[in-house]
Amino acid sequence: MSKSELGAEMKEIPRAVAGVVGEIIGHHVYYHRRLDILFSEAGAPGDPPAGGCIPKATDWLLRCNKDPKVDAFGVLGGVIERYMDEPPSMFEGANVEVGQKRIREILGKFGLAYATGGKIIGGSIGLPVRSLSEIIGARDLGAIEKEVERALSNVVSDPEAGVTAACSMIESLCKTYIEDEGLDLPSKETINDLWKVVAADLGFAPGSVEDDDVKRVLSGMTSIVMGIGAFRTHAGSAHGRGRRAYRVESRHARLAIHAAHTLCTFVIETWDRKRERA
């Protein structure tokens, strides 16, 4: 399974993405020999292009689009992997955090996203992921971010693990909320019991609102939690199997991941609103 299969709906690296990544990586590496090794190890085709480090990096990425044998997004992910994954303190000189932010932003403009391990996530996931990633990135929610990345990285290669990560995403958020708000954990830390505590504290219980339409939406949120929890139990990778096994496909994993993303985004935004009013 190639890294780019996660973003299979887009086959070529957009020119603007190549330009930004080429500028940042070319400026960051700035030694031709090191840059040549970086691109070659990532799978970039042919001899190094002529020119300085920045145009060389940009041209080499664009060249990947022209060779049908080359995994263009795999090369892109491999080129930026170390720059994106290692903490800024590991690097000298350049402001790495600014560069990382620019790369994420230009990827986001084209429906792409970066996931730990040199993976480029494409249009098959879409806006909910980017929205949640941006929200998480602005807060200290490391455990949830880890589950988001695990879900994204497995949606094609291991959809069962993607379903499990979608469930863990909700569980992690609920536990973080309960801990930060000083609430009591339920005696059973199942996804359903954790959700009941959070939903009650945030006023998500259908009985707490008067509008019938809103009640239906809130009831749907509980159904999503219960459904993803049951799906994880019966089809995810976290439990043993009986004689009959679910056949989980990527579309099923995407459904669970999208639902979990939407729910988590709403919870975090409501949590912020609650704090603003406090």
Same domain, 135 and 185: yes
- Cβ within 8 Å of residue 148, ≥6 positions away: 129, 132, 133, 136, 165, 169, 261
**Do 77 and 135 share a structural domain?**
no
Least reliable range by pLDDT among 36-50, 118-132, 204-218? 118-132
Report pTM.
0.54
* CA dist 98 → 88, 144, 230, 256 (Å): 10, 23, 41, 33
Which of 23-27, 117-121, 181-185, 240-244 shows the lowest mean pLDDT across its residues? 240-244
What is the extent of the structural domain holding 157?
125-278
Query: Which of 101, 124, 147 represents a domain boundary (last residue)?
Result: 124
**For the residues 85-105, what does the mean pLDDT come to?**
80
Q: What's the N-to-C CA distance of the chain in angstroms?
A: 48
Mean pLDDT of the region 199-203: 91
pLDDT digits (tens, 9 = 90+) for 250-261: 888 888 888 888
**Confidence band of 105 (pLDDT split at 50, 70, 90):** confident
3-class secondary structure, 121: strand
Average pLDDT for 40-61:
95
Q: What is the CATH number of the domain that holds 190?
A: 1.20.120
How far is 168 from 170, CA to CA, in rounded Å?
5
- Indicate whether 7 pLDDT > 90: no
* Domain closes at, from 92, 124, 156: 124
Does the pLDDT at position 13 exceed 90?
yes
Q: Does residue 120 sit in the same domain as residue 140?
A: no
Last residue of a domain, one of 124, 156, 174: 124
Q: Are residues 104 and 58 in the same domain?
A: yes
Check whether residue 18 and residue 109 sit in a common domain: yes
